[in-house]
Structure 1
Amino acid sequence: MIKAILTGHSKGLGLGIARSLLCKGHPVLGLSRSINDELQHEFPPLLQQVAIDLSEISALEHWANGTQLQEFIENATLLLLINNAGLVTPIGPLHAQDPVEIARSVQLNVTAPMVLSAKVTHILKNGQELRVLHVSSGAGRRPYPGWSVYGATKAALDIHAQTVKLDGQPNVRICSLAPGVIDTGMQAQIRETDVNLFPNRQRFIELNNEGALTNPQHTGEHLVNYLLAPGFGQLAVDDLRSN
């Protein structure tokens, strides 16, 4: 049986990923600050939701050490861990960055995916395969002014995936995947940012005006197909747009 643990499942790309998995009949354990009632109504037997702020690492550790995670993966033959939740803030040069926001972004974008990846691997049983997918970004591979924190956290995921692959655990495959520019709340937030904090804002406004942002449901389906393909993990770092 294929089962999936998905962070940030309640909206945006995460919702597109969740819906694609559920429509294929795969049970999903969703971790997010908010619960999606509509999704629960559509897939009551397949969806479990946990309301949790993953930037609070103590809360994540408390939950992960409970029974729900272990019970969920109990009868899975292929387990998917999709680390999708993330923050783009703080945006701006160093002097404009709030230290509290920096810490929160690093905890959500980097610490939580690493903690979850390690925790799930610890409790895998013989015969179970784990596929870990970090939702990365082109910002982790090319610097953008104003995005030093966001870019650094995404670059960390890329290096994490490359190193885990080198570790060579036979029942674990991993990839840090950039999904492209998607029509989500994060994109709206970027377009509303002061140009003095994010000089590339106009480029993202133009992408939106030109209809160049991809649909989160379509991208979620593409990502799930990528994750379930036989060759997943051959590349530790990849871009969904090239597949």
Structure 2
Amino acid sequence: MGPRQEHFRMLALYNQWANARLYDAAGRIAPEALAEERGAFFGSLLGTLNHLLVTDRGWMARLEGESPRMRLDEMLHDDFSDLRAARVVQDQRLADYVHGLSEDRLAARLDYATSSGAPQSQPLHHVLAHLFNHQTHHRGQAHHLVGLVLGREATPVLDLLAYQRSTAAAAVEARQGTALPHDDGPPGRPPDDGPTGPGLAATRVQVAAMDGVMLADKEVPEPDSLGG
């Protein structure tokens, strides 16, 4: 596996992990609070999450050779459960696509049209870098809106380092047959002391080998920080 393949496969799996944690937290918010106007770029938390689904579907279509026109503020789903189900499907679809890419394909150019119809041509790895960066950008906005409603202590850690350290720990555990302590509490920041020790939260991760064999499927500790 080449370096770009490894990098973008990691980002696709991180994208699934972060969105799952964000939606777990957002699912604890009342429907009226989800839809409340909060001055965000796309208004509400529900609007922000819908925007991410709209754009991900648009980019997925471009990756598959189509260039649809789309309205960036379209509300695909007013119901959170429907939105969440669509998010899960979209994230898996993107992960499957990325895992099928070769180094040569990642380096090749992608021809597409913008939402206004303007023709564009870029290396595919540039397009994927934008797609995942765009996810992180607006997921950060959604993360902030979740925190406004639930409070900082109930807002999940979404750092890339948290995902990387968690999956690395799970892989080591699978190889060594050792058990790591974990906390069955909510997905946010834990108390100062607890089953995971100071400064650690727990998250469920799944680590699979390239042949599809599951190496680990359990909760492992992760860093409790905003930046590292």
TM-score normalized by structure 2? 0.30
| Greater Cα radius of gyration, structure 1 or 2 | 2
TM-score normalized by structure 1? 0.29
